[in-house]
Structure 1
Amino acid sequence: MCFVFVCDEEERVLGTHQAPGTCPYCGGVVMATDVESAWRLCFLPLRFKTKRKYYCSTCSRRLVTYP
């Protein structure tokens, strides 16, 4: 007997805008991108999650914020 689980995560960019502050590495402009991710199991959506990612527009480095 063989079970095949098809899992997939699909990400879609909702919007991009300039965030306040500068990059600590190069001093460039920080951009904020809103991303919606959807986990799917056999084409059935299981979970939708919206998150915000920050990156520098000059050096393209991913930035992490700490609470």
Structure 2
Amino acid sequence: MCLVFVCDEDERMISRQPAPGSCPYCGGMIHAIDVKSQWRFCFLPLYIRTKKKYYCSMCARCLVIKY
């Protein structure tokens, strides 16, 4: 039996800049990272999305912004 994965997701960091504020857990500096994610099916790109993620530089936690 042979399993072949035909779907793939690739995430790449585009840019990184400091964000205002501090981490609520440790008080460290927050970085805003622009990430480009791409879904592929049989090596053909189906969906490309750019999103912003926030990380603490000291404790390396991913922070979620609630509106």
TM over 0.5: yes
Residue matched to 1:28: 28
Q: CA deviation at 1:64?
A: 0.4
Offset, 1:18: 0.1
TM-score (norm 2): 0.91
Q: Distance in 2 between matches of 1:15 and 1:5?
A: 30
State the TM-score, normalizing by the size of structure 1.
0.91
- The CA RMSD measured in Å over matched residues stands at 1.0
Name the CA distance, whole Å, in 2 between partners of 1:21 and 1:34. 18
- After superposition, residues 1-67 of structure 1 pair within 5 angstroms as 6-67=6-67
* Equivalenced residues, count: 64
Structure 1 unaligned residues grouped into runs of 5+: none
User: Does the CA-based 8 Å contact 1:19-1:32 persist in structure 2?
Assistant: yes
Offset, 1:5: 5.6
Q: Secondary structure at the match of 1:50?
A: strand
Residue ranges of structure 2 left out of the alignment (5+ in a row): none
